[in-house]
Amino acid sequence: MASFTLHGIPVSRGISIGRAHLLTPAALDVKHYLVPEEQVEAEVKRLQDAIAEVHRGLQALWTELPKDAPTELGAFIDVHALILSDPMISEAPLDIIRTRHYNAEWALVTQIDELSAQFDEIEDEYLRERKHDIQQVAERVLKVLMGTALNVPPVYSGEDQVAPQMIVVAHDISPADMLAFRDRDGGPQSFIGFVTDVGGQNSHTAIVARSLDIPAVVGMSQASRLVEQDDWVIIDGDAGVVICNPSQQVLEQYRARQAALVKARKRLLKLKKTPAVTKDGTPITLLANIELPDDCPAALEAGANGVGLFRSEFLFMGRSASGLGNALRVPGEDEQFEQYRKAVVAMKGRPVTIRTLDVGADKPLDPTEHTALNPALGLRAIRYCLAEPQLFLTQLRAILRASAFGKVRILIPMLAHAFEIDQTLSMIEQAKLQLREEGIKYDPGVEVGAMIEIPAAALALPMFVKRMHFLSIGTNDLIQYTLAIDRVDYEVAHLYNPLHPAVLGLIASTIATGQKAGLDVAVCGEMAGDTKLTRLLLGMGLREFSMHPAQLLSVKQEILNSDLATITSRTRRILRSIEPNEIATAVEQLQSL
């Protein structure tokens, strides 16, 4: 069999070598036919029964979650259960059966296609990925209707396999199905990686892959059509490459790399309790980015000094009031407070930085609402919160109440104007006043910080320094806005470059200005967790890194091996350069110092 290579989006690092197991989407086999009038209600009941069975299956998965299962899996099962209960899934297809006389499978696929088209119009990467959750739920219902269960293969008995070393290749795969593969007699090694045609950095597939620490590549487009059952497959999760039917020489090369990675990871584990200090004795603060309170144990396990970014919008996701196309059922103050308090208590006295709601035109709470012409520049983040003062005030009260249980900091996204800062601070004071009048405890000394993710903010830092207690650089958006590049648009994504001299200049000046004013400055974007850029950021003067917990020990290792005096002088030369090739070469050379 001929060898070939596919390229996709790397979402979970590492190397896996195994046999391909293909999952065929049930939707591809759906039959389309019209149901006679007298059989319509029977067809309606068939779909209702299938939905009920999937509900029972999800409940069983939840109750039988293994103790070592990542907390994300339980949360995603909950999301799928909520989607399944939504009238847009549980009722709208029934109406299609009754009005158009479609068979149950056809009716469900018709409704899902319509919903998917709505989500395709959403420009925000995270929310657009939620389309796949809806499709995954529908897939489970279709499998029940068609009498096909998840095809988990028996242990491979080929002469070159002693234990099941399976790489799942699919158009898409749900977290619940991932658990079905993992929770077998073969244990966690039942599957060792997966490849999907769709998905992105923020898809649930990607999030669970990182939490399981299993190599994965998504967004490969044609993988499920080109790879055949039982093909030998290599996943290079660092490069986003999948090699099918590799030659013996390539196979041996990757096995050697894989063995080296295993040894390196074992060495990293010994660093958990080692303080993050450079060779010359400079302490560095390593913080964790989290989405939910249940992520806190992983942050502590990795040795995080605290939470540098709690993305509070995850508490608002998947909560429509009466349909996926209707307004969001916003969590109330008590519900938000309980989640924030849970995270604060879990971190055992370490600081928890909670970013206020980062939604808006690019993350519409109602997917059917009119999308702004250029949503990345529209009513989003703090602009949205100030336009919805009651929603904002409710969140601020909940965060302040949680501050009574440990150190909490409030982080405001997408600030660009002095009046936005002043209005935000005024809202915080209003929330404090209300709590005082009601006799509710909070920490009056809660610090408030600004996300620096708009070039205008980076270029006008004095007005931030004057008003805020700390700064956090959101490199993902800062790069996007500086270069006018939509990083999720495949036609221009190759132009998204964190080493562009303009980007480096903005980051370096923000760090320098903030620190000169005595403010803590952190980087909480993807650059913070990229070990190839750790020394560059250290050379710029960065002393706080916030990243996914899985990246923390690798970054710590880079810090322990870094000599600040040498790195700083080299970094100054890099910042004076304007030639991309020179910058890239110099940054690479930093790694060998």
Two tokens at 440?
Answer: 């509710």
Give a three-class secondary structure readout of 416-445. Answer: CCHHHHHHHHHHHHHHHHHHHHCCCCCCCC
Residue type, 314: F
Instruction: Reply yes or no on whether 385 is catalytic.
Output: no
Q: Are 14 and 222 spatial neighbours (Cβ–Cβ below 8 Å)?
A: no
- 453-457 long-range Cβ contacts below 8 angstroms, 24+ apart: 453/413, 453/414, 453/477, 453/478, 453/481, 453/525, 454/414, 454/415, 454/416, 454/478, 454/481, 455/481, 455/482, 455/506, 456/416, 457/415, 457/416
Residue type, 337: F
**In whole angstroms, what is the distance from residue 416 CA to residue 477 CA?**
13
Q: Which of 244, 296, 385, 524 is catalytic?
A: 524
**In whole angstroms, what is the distance from residue 169 CA to residue 218 CA?**
10
**In whole angstroms, what is the distance from residue 235 CA to residue 243 CA?**
7
Residue 593: CB atoms within 10 Å: 12
Instruction: Reply yes or no on whether 244 is catalytic.
Output: no
Q: Are 356 and 413 spatial neighbours (Cβ–Cβ below 8 Å)?
A: yes
Two tokens at 293?
Answer: 């309170």
Q: Which of 80, 204, 500, 548 is catalytic?
A: 204
**In whole angstroms, what is the distance from residue 230 CA to residue 234 CA?**
12
Two tokens at 294?
Answer: 């249940």
The C-alpha angle 406, 394, 361, rounded to 5 degrees, equals: 115
Two tokens at 105?
Answer: 């499978």
First to last CA, the chain: 44
Q: Give catalytic residue positions.
A: 204, 524
